[in-house]
Chain A
Amino acid sequence: MKKSKFASLFLASSLLVGVLAGCGSGEKSSSTNGGEVSSTNGGDTIKIGANLELSGAVASYGSSEADAIDLAIEEINAAGGIDGKQIELIKVDNKSDAAEATNAAIKLTSQDKVTAIIGAATSGNSVAQVQIATDTKTPMISPSGTSTTVTVGDNGKVNPFTFRTAFIDPFQGTVAANFAVNELKVKTAAVYADNASDYAKGLAASFIKDFEAAGGTIVAEESYVAKDTDFRSTLTRIKGSNPEFVFIPGYYEEVGLIVKQARELGIEVPLMGADGWDSPTIVDLAGAAALNNTFIITAYSAEDPDGKAKEFADKFTEKYGKAPNSFHALGYDSVYLLKDAIERAKSLDGTKIKEAIEATDNLELVTGLYSVDEFHHPIKSATIIEFVNGEQVFKTKVNP
């Protein structure tokens, strides 16, 4: 058929045109930067990239962090910036998709030539940019990427340029198991974990191990996937196995609903979770009454009147007219972690900043005192808090 005679020719040539157009600007941008590394871009600003989930399935996580990052950078810039240099934030949207996260990271490192990247909110999208960060020697801090694979590769080696603000410690699972056995004196427990998050899976695994080691019995092990809304049928199943205690590692968006639905179904036993629960929204979602007899492990206590947490909550509420949640706190902390490291590195060189982050020692952040271990995991102490009529009440503190 004559019809497609030139079709192929056209295809090839249209590609060529696209390519040439691309090159035109490519050459321009590389010539302005003259192949220099970002550390020597001696301007008056420090460019920081934010690679976040601003649209797509988990847009609520990414945009929460973006709000908090804006706030932190505004504060730092108002206070004179870092060593007199203002921070310029470049936000890119990764559509909650790992492929887009890679593209975004490439754009930030090769087009915008940022000094460091904050993001992404989820582990998968963070892992998608690890290699780019390593190749371009750009330090990257994932505020809430909880999977170990974000900072430690499959081969067991630490990804040199990747850090995280969130706690991932299986330590929390151990604390929860000990608390259940020693303080609450329970013999049987059920575990209901978020299957989409390594954080929840890791906590569940360490809880089960330590609970059984202490002589307890796990009577039910169930899972859900983040963004579910109906947990009633699985909870009815859990109720049928008659546990004395339910451990629910996961994030407040689902946990709030789980707690509410569990109480409606008549599950009156103590429920416990970890720092993923920590958000004022959980009280709205579950209701203050349903939250009674639930416990969480966090790294800090918001009720401390002199603490950073209170100060942050006030500033945040003033700017956005709502109370912050744990994603806000982690996003905010990521900026300050980076600021502290850049100040100590006295340089914008990626490797020097990375070394400075590794040397972070008990930095006071909103989510607690922050240090980094050899696997780039944060070390934080654990505080157990009980909800009483919607208020957090300090129970006990456990050090690692």
Chain B
Amino acid sequence: MEWLQQLINGISLGSIYALIALGYTMVYGIIKLINFAHGDVFMVGSFIGFYSITVFGLGFFPALIISMAACALFGVIIERIAYKRLRNATRIAALITAIGVSLLIEYGVIYIRGAQPEAYPDVFSNRSFELFGAQISVQSILILSVSVVLMILLQFIVHKTKTGKAMRAVSHDTEAAKLMGINVDNTISATFAIGSALAGAAGVIFGVYYTKIDPLMGVIPGVKAFVAAVLGGIGIIPGAMVGGLVLGVVETIVSALGFSLWRDAAAFVILILILIFRPSGIFGKNTREKV
């Protein structure tokens, strides 16, 4: 039952990518910015969770909530200070700023606490049970359920609440949304808050599942999550979830076949194939070019 085990491995990895990808996709959908600092918000979330557990002795769920709240605030601060001024600047200027913010967060954290890694404490029992010959740990079940709950919650917010409707409207047409009386600035901030909260949650989950966290941990998952977002169709929320899961499973399959050193290449090959043959992603709609 090696393959069932591999599928479970892939889905666990993919759900973390999906949580990070959601933030990318939401931000891109609304202000067309590739927010490279998003992976670092994920890292900050992980550290906040770590300190709430070790220093304040909190459990997993309080730590998760604190980390999500702190990251939401952090995301809004980043948006207000760094990105807001650039809303009318070229996309490339905004991108460079995002890279700058990303470096600043990484090296700010290194300056404060050093670059050495930290080991997440065990908050769940390490117990695992067997199902059809595959080992499933209690941790991975909890992690999967938390991810699924958060994604359902996000769907609810986006489709049923006023803020969510405003977000969709702004993403569709900013000017028209403004004319309809929607406060665009606040809506964008709300998007950053929600996206960053999800990244924070992903950080805590990553810590619990993978144990090792360090100030540069956000770089690679950040890029991977971005690939996942594009895979699913950037700007589309269900797309990010599916893209994340697909990416996680594909990476696992490549390693399972014995090509672990080619794992990252596989992710990018799929990305390029998708871009060339279906540039708007799995879930994307083809839009006509306007002259």
Contact = CB atoms under 8 A, between A and B. Distances in A.
Contact of B9 (A54, A62, A236): A236
B19 to A, nearest CB: 15
Contact of A264 (B10, B107, B126, B215): B126
Contact of B210 (A54, A227, A229, A325): A229
A264 B258 contact: no
A304 interface: no
A285 B120 CA distance: 7
Given A264-B135, A289-B126, A236 B6 contact: yes
Nearest to B118: A284
Nearest to B122: A287
B2 A230 contact: no
A338 B84 CA distance: 53
Interface string A228-261: 0110111011011000000000000100110010
A64 B116 CA distance: 7
B145 interface: no
B157 to A, nearest CB: 30
A281 interface: yes
B128 A233 contact: no
A359 interface: no
A222 B258 contact: yes
Nearest to B264: A225
Main SS at interface, chain A: helix
A236 B137 CA distance: 14
B260 A60 contact: no
A236 B256 contact: yes
Nearest to A56: B216
B186 interface: no
Contact of A233 (B107, B139, B214, B256): B256
Given A257-B210, A285-B119, A234 B5 contact: no
Contacts of A54: 115
Interface residues of A, number: 39
A219 interface: no
Contact of A55 (B2, B110, B135, B258): B110
Contacts of B217: 229
B126 A287 contact: yes
Interface of A: 54-55, 57, 59-60, 62-64, 67, 195, 222-225, 227, 229-230, 232-234, 236-237, 239-240, 253, 256-257, 260, 263-266, 281, 284-285, 287, 289-290, 325
Given A229-B217, A237-B258, A260-B211, 13 more contacts: A55-B110, A63-B110, A195-B261, A223-B260, A230-B210, A232-B9, A236-B2, A257-B210, A263-B126, A265-B5, A265-B135, A266-B128, A266-B135
8 tightest A-B CB contacts, nearest first: A284-B119, A233-B255, A59-B115, A232-B9, A233-B252, A60-B115, A285-B119, A266-B135
Interface of B: 2, 5-6, 9-10, 12-13, 107, 110, 114-117, 119, 122, 126, 128, 130, 135, 137, 139, 210-212, 214-217, 220, 251-253, 255-256, 258, 260-261
13 contacts: A60-B116, A60-B214, A222-B258, A223-B261, A233-B256, A234-B256, A237-B256, A237-B258, A253-B117, A256-B211, A260-B211, A264-B135, A266-B135
